[in-house]
Amino acid sequence: MILFAKLGLLVAVFLAALRFRLDLGTLLLGCTALIGVLFPVAPGLFAREVLGSVLDRPTLELVAIVFVTVLLGALMRESGALREMTQSLAQLIPDYRLIVAIPPALIGLLPMPAGALVSAPLVEEAAGARPITPEARTFINYWFRHLWEYVWPLYPGLLIGAAVLRVPVERMAIAQYPLTLVALAIG
């Protein structure tokens, strides 16, 4: 019971700090320290584990992926490629709602870490000066990037579900195909 109280306190502190818009890096560092206080471990072991996780290969790879993704978005914006892409799409499709939804849907065909950082600038550029709130832009980016989770075999959820149920991936995708259509209609 005490374990759940400690975890609850940790989550509450984290959510409260997010609510007050505390810097995320500072917040994560503070929560790491709070974990060290709430779950006492020898200081040397705690420091080794924290340092080890920061310098762990998957952590460094993820940081590199996010960095390169942000760099790609910045280069596309600075070079005008984002503007050209959305203008080309606007010449093909007259409805701006589709112009805003199509880029994240296309990016969603290739699930990747930090995919939102690739598609968000496209949504931003496609939305332009139209009266779309930042919240709606975030929703559009998220929703349409994840349309394919039910049917696209590159999504781990589909592969894991098929493995757990011991059915072929194709069968699972066909059975879930209506979910993609419903998600598209709702979006």
pLDDT of 71: 85
Would you state the pLDDT for residue 75? 85
Q: What whole-number percentage of the chain has pLDDT above 90?
A: 18
DSSP code, position 110 = S
Listed as ranges, residues in the chain with pLDDT below 70 are none
Which pLDDT does position 74 carry in this prediction? 81
Q: What is the value of pTM for the model shown?
A: 0.66
So what's the pLDDT on residue 22?
A: 85
Q: What is the pLDDT of residue 168?
A: 93
> What does the DSSP 8-state code read for residue 56?
-
The tens digit of pLDDT for each residue in 124-155 reads 888 877 888 889 999 999 999 999 989 988 88
What per-residue confidence (pLDDT) applies to 143?
92
**Do the Cβ atoms of 43 and 51 come closer than 8 Å?**
no
Q: What pLDDT is stored for residue 144 in this prediction?
A: 92
In this structure, what token pair is assigned to residue 135? Answer: 């919240």
Given this model, what pLDDT does residue 112 score? 76
Which of 113, 106, 120, 187 lies closest to 148, judged by CA? Answer: 106
Within the chain, strands assigned E span none
